């Protein structure tokens, strides 16, 4: 019995930040964007990326062994997945979340022990400020954050565009829309729908740019406002994508009540996040995302499908159901 | 084809530092040592560990979902592997490497991009000093480092105690012995052998303590010295465990030549490290360990079995062979 137990998993997980940071550094350097233009041998890639000779070969070969690069007859090129998802020149780019993880989260997570002992955020907002105030005050950081949200949400957004019975609705509004990827994917896949993106006014220009790039200006518009002080826009379907987990329980309930008030009878609320399994024993990513909310926000936390159904029922919704989307993300749908 | 490609592995690896740091924080808090004394429910563990109520449940349940804790009917306890390997009260404890990863490496790896661009270390020695000078000057850090080395080497040490044909030898000397775990495992498994641990004089007290705790004082002794300025001790077998990768090529060759000079005819040199596969495409851990040497040392790097066989032959050894030990570690043996 004892002889079958090895320390391998402990050491692998404990040192997993090595592979993590190696990939994040490659994203930071835009290595995959560069190799998508054309592959190259060691000397070529070293020169183009400004790598030190001592480090270049180990760095690139580590990415080969991790499956993010390929090397054939000495020529380095992207793997199919990094070529599709980590080349900035492609619309399928999802590296924003990793750029933010590299730039902000890796260091903030270094203070996890303090977070777990104090219950307080360990990011720019250290000291108790609204985490989004600091972010929204800096246009460069705001743009990075909004792009990051698109990257981490793309798969779920595309699933929602198919899995909600859109034929029964004419309008939708995405609350806390960021760059607007959710309303973009929904309206691209459902040409009969009109959509609204709702977020703080500072987000407007980034949203408009994204909608224009996707050719959706005739059907999708932006409404600037705060879901704390303003009513929510009216639409057949209101969506909260990776929003509820940012906030404490009172705010979660307030948002669901405002959604109920803004919807017509028969309208739907759609909430999605990296839902934790109801027994809180399986979905490690959802639980770690909740620790990320501890690092990032004063009161946010992730939750199970059963938690969310209970809150929707308290807010007056009926026929609530949970449906898996993709990867760690699931949605909860409630009807007014 | 395209539809089969998902961003899951990219996101998992890019955010793998979340699970990594969660485990490291648990080791830092000695959670597994505490739960080995007795399991407890949420309120009990929260109180004993000084966790904040906001964070406690997510933190513990994340460790459940990662497989490092178990929770049955609300009672948290260690998994079999964390109970064996992360309880400080057990001799099988290997948490030292994770304590050091948490305390030093996690932050230093935050500067990987700088390391890859400059080729310079990013630890206490930043600025070009010998990395071991700073470490050996601080008794607390030295003890943490030496324990960490035992933790990361235990499995390989036990394998070497069985896989070298010890019946043909009477003495061995472990060069850069640290706490002495390699010579300890070898002499515990082979009662006919006498052993020497060779390291800087500062290491002596920590070594003697470990040898005494293992009841080996009659067969194992310490010799203080520097492998730069002193000759190596004479013995039938000379061992270098996780030593060669710390140094640049000239030092690697110098050490192998000194070993050849110190051995009797027919004597053996045994080198082990996390050997990279000869094609440098498979063993990600060995390549990442080499990047760790970039972070930690001015010239160190990991290497393939073929590299090491070539260096041994240059130093005069014959009948060189590579043999896998355990996990990422393999040994290279050469005969004088």
Mean per-residue pLDDT for A315-320? 98
Residue of B nearest to A97 (CA): B11
Kind plus residue range of the DSSP H or E element containing B258: helix B249-262
What residues in A contact B13, CB-CB < 8 Å?
A: 19-20, 23, 66, 68
What residues in A contact B6, CB-CB < 8 Å?
A: 81, 155, 326-327
Residue A271 pLDDT class (50, 70, 90 cuts): very high
Q: Answer for the pair A334, A266: CB distance below 8 angstroms, yes or no.
A: no
**What number of other Cβ atoms are within 10 A of residue B223's Cβ?**
16
Q: What does the pLDDT read at residue B246?
A: 95
| Contacting residues for B64 by C-beta, under 8 A, at least 6 apart | A280, A281, B70, B71, B76
Q: Give the model confidence (pLDDT) of B140-192 as tens digits.
A: 878 877 877 777 788 899 999 999 999 999 999 999 999 999 999 999 999 99
DSSP-based three-state secondary structure for B170: coil
Residue A2 has pLDDT above 50, yes or no: no
Q: What does the pLDDT read at residue A138?
A: 82
Torsion angle in degrees (nearest 10) through CA of B253, B258, B263, B268: -20
Q: What does the pLDDT read at residue A149?
A: 78
Residues of A forming the active site:
245
Return the beta strands (E) in chain B as ranges.
Answer: 69-72, 75-78, 171-175, 194-199, 220-224, 237-241, 268-273, 318-326, 329-335
Chain B: give the shortest CA distance to residue A211, in Å: 23
Ranges in chain A annotated CATH 1.10.10.10:
8-85
Residue A85 has pLDDT above 70, yes or no: yes
- Report the side by side order of strands in the sheet with B329-335: B220-224, B194-199, B171-175, B237-241, B268-273, B329-335, B318-326
Hey, which residues 268-327 in chain B have their CB within 8 Å of chain A? Answer: 276, 280-285, 287-288, 290-292, 294, 299, 301-302, 326-327
Residue A46 has pLDDT above 60, yes or no: yes
Proportion of chain A above pLDDT 90, given as a percent: 84
Q: What does the pLDDT read at residue A129?
A: 64
pTM (predicted TM-score): 0.92
How many CB pairs lie under 8 A apart between chains A and B?
254
Tell me the pLDDT of chain A averaged across its residues.
93
Q: Quick check: A116 and B27 CB within 8 A?
A: no
Q: What does the pLDDT read at residue B3?
A: 52
Residue of A nearest to B284 (CA): A65
Nearest to B50 among A64, A117, A290 (CB): A117
Q: Does residue A314 or residue B145 have the better pLDDT?
A: A314
Best CA proximity match to B109, nearest among A55, A17, A37:
A17
Q: What does the pLDDT read at residue A3?
A: 52
Residues of B forming the active site:
245
Residue A1 has pLDDT above 60, yes or no: no
Ranges in chain B annotated CATH 3.40.50.150:
95-335
Q: What is the CATH number of domain A8-85?
A: 1.10.10.10
Nearest to A290 among B58, B115, B285 (CB): B58
CA distance A181 to A176: 11
CA distance A176 to A239: 9
The CATH architecture that domain B95-335 belongs to is 3-Layer(aba) Sandwich (3.40)
The phi and psi torsions of A31 (rounded to 5 degrees) equal -60, -45
Proportion of chain A above pLDDT 70, given as a percent: 97
Hey, which residues 19-58 in chain B have their CB within 8 Å of chain A? Answer: 19-25, 27-29, 50-58
Q: Quick check: B14 and A97 CB within 8 A?
A: yes
Regions of chain B short of the pLDDT cut 50:
1-2
Q: What does the pLDDT read at residue A137?
A: 79
Tell me what ipTM this predicted complex has. 0.93
What residues in A contact B32, CB-CB < 8 Å?
A: none
Integer CA distances (angstroms), B281 to A19, A115, B161, B327, in order: 14, 38, 29, 17
Q: What does the pLDDT read at residue B128?
A: 61
Q: Give the model confidence (pLDDT) of A104-150 as tens digits.
A: 899 999 999 999 999 999 988 776 666 677 777 788 878 877 877 77
């Amino acid at each position: 019995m004892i002889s079958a137990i090895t320390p391998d998993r402990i050491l692998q997980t404990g040192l997993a930040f090595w592979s993590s940071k190696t990939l994040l550094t490659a994203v930071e350097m835009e290595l995959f964007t560069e190799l998508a233009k054309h592959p190259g041998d060691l000397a070529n890639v070293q020169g183009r990326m400004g790598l030190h000779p001592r480090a270049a070969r180990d760095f690139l070969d580590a990415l080969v062994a991790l499956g993010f690069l390929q090397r054939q007859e000495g020529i380095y090129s992207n793997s199919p997945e990094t070529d599709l998802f980590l080349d900035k020149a492609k619309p399928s780019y999802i590296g924003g979340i990793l750029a933010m993880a590299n730039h902000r989260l890796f260091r903030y997570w270094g203070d996890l022990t303090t977070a777990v002992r104090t219950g307080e955020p360990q990011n720019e907002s250290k000291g108790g400020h609204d985490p989004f105030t600091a972010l929204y005050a800096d246009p460069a950081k705001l743009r990075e954050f909004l792009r990051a949200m698109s990257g981490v949400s793309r798969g779920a957004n595309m699933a929602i565009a198919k899995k909600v019975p859109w034929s029964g609705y004419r309008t939708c509004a995405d609350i806390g829309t960021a760059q607007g990827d959710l309303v973009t994917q929904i309206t691209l896949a459902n040409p009969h729908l009109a959509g609204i993106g709702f977020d703080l006014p500072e987000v407007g220009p980034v949203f408009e740019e994204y909608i224009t790039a996707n050719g959706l200006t005739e059907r999708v518009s932006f409404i600037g406002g705060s879901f704390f002080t303003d009513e929510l826009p009216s639409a057949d379907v209101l969506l909260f994508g990776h929003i509820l987990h940012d906030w404490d329980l009172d705010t979660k309930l307030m948002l669901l009540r405002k959604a109920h008030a803004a919807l017509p009878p028969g309208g739907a609320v759609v909430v999605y996040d990296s839902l934790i399994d109801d027994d809180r024993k399986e979905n490690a990513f959802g639980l770690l995302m909740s620790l990320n909310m501890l690092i990032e926000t004063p009161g946010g936390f992730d939750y199970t499908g059963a938690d969310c159904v209970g809150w929707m029922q308290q807010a007056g919704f009926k026929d609530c159901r949970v449906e898996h989307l993709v990867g760690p993300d699931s949605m909860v749908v409630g009807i007014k």
